[in-house]
């Protein structure tokens, strides 16, 4: 695993040359429109904030993704439901996959309205109310009803480690009683219907649809590991298959183990995307590739 950390970015030409050398293979595939650039949202192109509703992608990341989408397929795969993701990540030409890929949609123009989306089921709404009641005594814990699941956030807890143990125990018990799956992430635990997929199945669906010659996927959390594992399973049939870990202060050792390369936070990933877009412009200014065809449209 190669590591590009904040110190690395300050030490001069050698570090810059090393990072630039990694861009060359990406350019080679992207110039043919055969590189799938897939990325997580929270903690990857958008810094993690105390209120998830206020999360916004870095402007340089969205600008780079929009430029890249003219040249090669680009996808954002998120645990957020599609309605939320589309508001937070309005990038034309990018395939948005909400709810771990269960809700795919391509925004072709910035002003295109979001298609009608189903509200959370009555069962999930009931489950959200139950979890709000059970966790109500825990300060800083918030329950979010989503289209395909219920998330319990404890990022605002004054004692996140203690809250993590309590929340996980509560959610595991409720999920067991309801026959639901549990997905753990940074300062959040989510319950979802069984066998409803993950970011690995979402990435597999895109790869099977467009058959690119290479793929790079960036993520920062445990929920991104299935996508990295799916990419590694296909490394023998892809010319390039890179899992990029976006590191934060609380990065999991499992992420470090799964990633082929690591970057120090969302700004470093945005830098790489910008450099890739600029390199493609230098190769063939004005060239436009046919965009990815989204599922269901």
Residues annotated as catalytic (active site), given as ranges:
40
The answer to whether 155 and 50 are in contact (CB under 8 A) is: yes
Q: Per this entry, what is the length of the chain?
A: 297
What is the spatial distance between Cα 294 and Cα 278, in angstroms, rounded to a whole number?
26
The CA–CA distances, whole Å, from 210 to 72, 180, 187, 204 equal 11, 32, 34, 10
- Alpha-carbon distance of 156 to 245, in angstroms, equals 24
To the nearest 10°, report the CA torsion of 220, 218, 282, 240: 150
DSSP 8-state symbol, 138: S
Nearest-angstrom CA–CA distance, 223 and 20 = 29
- Is residue 196 within 8 A of residue 102, CB to CB? The reply is yes
- Count the neighbouring beta carbons within 10 Å of the beta carbon of residue 193: 16
Determine the Cα–Cα distance for residues 250 and 222; give it in Å rounded to an integer. Answer: 11
Closest C-alpha among 272, 196, 259, 189 to residue 231 = 259
């Amino acid at each position: 695993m190669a590591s590009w950390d904040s110190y690395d970015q300050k030490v001069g030409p050698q570090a810059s040359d090393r990072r630039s050398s990694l861009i060359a293979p990406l350019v080679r595939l992207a110039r043919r429109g055969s590189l799938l650039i897939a990325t997580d949202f929270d903690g990857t192109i958008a810094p993690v904030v105390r209120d998830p509703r206020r999360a916004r992608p870095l402007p340089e990341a969205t600008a780079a993704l929009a430029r890249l989408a003219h040249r090669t397929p680009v996808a954002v795969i998120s645990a957020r439901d599609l309605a939320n993701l589309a508001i937070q990540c309005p990038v034309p030409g990018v395939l948005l996959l909400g709810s771990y890929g269960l809700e795919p949609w391509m925004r072709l123009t910035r002003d295109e309205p979001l298609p009608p989306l189903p509200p959370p089921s009555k069962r999930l709404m009931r489950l959200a109310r139950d979890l709000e009641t059970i966790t109500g005594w825990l300060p800083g814990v918030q329950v979010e009803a989503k289209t395909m699941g219920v998330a319990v956030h404890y990022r605002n807890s004054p004692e996140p480690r203690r809250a993590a143990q309590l929340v996980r125990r509560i959610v595991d018990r409720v999920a067991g009683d309801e026959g639901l799956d549990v997905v753990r992430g940074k300062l959040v635990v989510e319950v979802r219907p069984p066998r409803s997929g993950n970011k690995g199945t979402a990435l597999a669906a895109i790869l099977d649809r467009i058959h690119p010659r290479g793929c790079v996927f960036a993520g920062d959390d445990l929920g991104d590991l299935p996508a990295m594992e799916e990419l590694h399973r296909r490394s023998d049939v892809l010319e390039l298959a890179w899992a990029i870990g976006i590191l934060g202060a609380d990065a999991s050792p499992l992420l470090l183990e799964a990633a082929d390369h690591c970057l120090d936070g969302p700004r470093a990933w945005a830098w790489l995307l910008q450099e890739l877009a600029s390199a493609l412009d230098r190769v063939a200014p004005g060239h436009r590739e046919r965009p990815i065809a989204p599922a269901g449209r």
